[in-house]
Amino acid sequence: MTFELSARLAARNFDMSLTLAEGQTVAVLGPNGAGKSTLLNITAGLVRPDSGTARIGGRPLFTLDGGTHQWSAPHHRGIALLAQEALLFPHLSVLDNVAFGPRSTGSSQRKAREAARHWLSEVDALELPDRKPAQLSGGQAQRVAVARALAAEPELLLLDEPMAALDIHAAPMLRRVLKRVLEGRKAIIVTHDVLDAYMLADRVIVVEGGRIAEEGPTRQVLERPRSHFAAGLAGLNIVTGSITEEGITTPDGRLFAGQHDPEWSPGPGQAGVAAFPPSAVSVFLGDVHGSPRNSFPVTITDLERHGGQVRVHARGGEAGTLSADVTPAASADLGLAPGMEVRFVVKSALVSIYPA
């Protein structure tokens, strides 16, 4: 059954629509304050939008358009929300925490505990049933919380940065468990980690300023980003403009040459993106002689160590923020420092051009 939502909430500058097909997991990525949690909370029934509709299959979750207003309470939505913290009932054993969902929908204690054991085994936590939540590590508690959410047999699972509160050793195990249990399930996972998107999601939605900035299949969005946020996650620079024979022309009239997708024949003037890694950018002081192509005057905003290189972050007028990787020796020779005006020159062979 398809999940469909369209909602607006003026107080949070929120206006989004999305559809989730049966069995599909979507990752929601975006900067702080973009509206990711608001999307989950509206879906779960914890925040009420000004207008909109949502349904799972034929079953309405809310209808706030037109004359008839309908609003289902959170526990009637068939939706489970998993937060950053496990939020288990502290006085119940692990087994009874997981059995809680089936119990509250009328299963006998025996049947509910049977279901609980099944879900504990699905999350690799069969050795924990008698413990109290206070006796669990963060990663164990979060796996139990996943089992508790699934034991309620939700039609849609919402995960709000489930790995965020875990240490680096516990996160990979939870990620593996989630990969297994999300297979073939409708789920929306809010995350700041591209690894989650790659491993867990069929599709990615990038949200910015309460709107969907970009969406598509995970690899397409993360390897051919169109939004600056997704480009940042992918570790790429992007410059947008309109398509020409050789590349794109930026809004301030600069030609940016690159390699077109061979399978794609753009119409002239069509909006396009030029994407390139920081390693494709060289840094020069002053004017560059010869071809002015793919060359930007920029102001350095920051320098940081990145692997064995120095990553030079800069602002380039219409081009927005760009970064270049140079060796520490080159950085020292050029005397690079924040506030300096330099020129970024990008190798056109390493620039991919694709439709915006």
**Which residues lie near ligand ATP (CB under 6 A)?**
12, 30, 32-38
61 C-beta neighbours (distance < 10 Å), count: 24
Which CB, 147 or 187, lies closer to ligand ATP?
187
What CA–CA distance (Å, rounded) separates 104 from 152? Answer: 9
- Closest approach, Cβ 190 to ligand ATP, in A, equals 7
What CA–CA distance (Å, rounded) separates 35 from 5? Answer: 14
Asked if 351 and 256 touch (Cβ cutoff 8 Å), the reply is yes
> 14-50 burial, b if ≥16 CB within 10 A, otherwise e?
bbbebebeeebbbbbbbbeebbbbbbbbbbbbebebe
- Closest approach, Cβ 46 to ligand ATP, in A, equals 10
Which CB, 101 or 210, lies closer to ligand ATP?
210
What CA–CA distance (Å, rounded) separates 96 from 103? Answer: 9
- Closest approach, Cβ 35 to ligand ATP, in A, equals 4
- Closest approach, Cβ 209 to ligand ATP, in A, equals 9
- Closest approach, Cβ 100 to ligand ATP, in A, equals 27
What CA–CA distance (Å, rounded) separates 55 from 92? Answer: 33
Query: Cα–chain-centroid distance for residue 207?
Result: 8
Asked if 27 and 191 touch (Cβ cutoff 8 Å), the reply is yes
- Closest approach, Cβ 44 to ligand ATP, in A, equals 12
- Closest approach, Cβ 161 to ligand ATP, in A, equals 7
Asked if 278 and 313 touch (Cβ cutoff 8 Å), the reply is no
Which CB, 40 or 144, lies closer to ligand ATP?
40
The candidate with the shortest Cα–Cα distance to 45, out of 8, 21, 1, 80, is 80
- Closest approach, Cβ 51 to ligand ATP, in A, equals 17
Which CB, 99 or 159, lies closer to ligand ATP?
159
Kindly report the backbone phi and psi dihedral angles of residue 333, in degrees, each rounded to the nearest multiple of 5, phi listed first.
-60, -40
| CA distances for 14 relative to 21, 38, 53, 257, angstroms | 23, 8, 14, 37
Which CB, 83 or 350, lies closer to ligand ATP?
83
Query: Cα–chain-centroid distance for residue 124?
Result: 26
